Amino acid sequence: ELKVEQNPLFLSMQEGKNYTIYCNYSTTSDRLYWYRQDPGKSLESLFVLLSNGAVKQEGRLMASLDTKARLSTLHITAAVHDLSATYFCAVDSVKGSQGNLIFGKGTKLSVKP
């Protein structure tokens, strides 16, 4: 059974600081996704990582994937208040298929001034 673990589950940061969220998964998978969720809202796609060594960056967020270690990281650089949200990683659970996602528990990020 595929399991996806995120840590930390809660993260309180000061503006301007850097931090990393970790996502481990238990079996091989074709793809890893990162999403953002604001309170009361649905998911906003951040990154899709397709292969070992993949690195993607958008603004203050950078995601990477190490398929051998079954580990993805979401790095936050110089955090700002607008980044406060819950971040989920997710993995395709069915090889060769797209969309049967198993999610981590989420990391609730709070950025304080």
Burial class (CB in 10 A: 0-12, 13-18, 19+), 112: exposed
Which range in 13-21, 30-38, 62-70, 71-79 contacts another protein by CB under 8 A?
30-38
Are 14 and 111 in contact, with CB atoms under 8 Å apart? yes
- The candidate with the shortest Cα–Cα distance to 52, out of 71, 37, 34, is 71
Does 34 engage in binding with another protein (CB under 8 A)?
Answer: no
Sole binder of another protein in the list 12, 18, 27, 100 (CB under 8 A):
100
Q: Is 52 in the site for another protein (CB under 8 A)?
A: no
> Are 66 and 52 in contact, with CB atoms under 8 Å apart?
yes
Return the residue of 72, 88, 91, 109 that touches another protein, per CB under 8 A.
88
The site for another protein (CB under 8 A) is made up of: 31, 33, 35, 41-43, 45, 48, 50, 88, 90, 93, 98-106
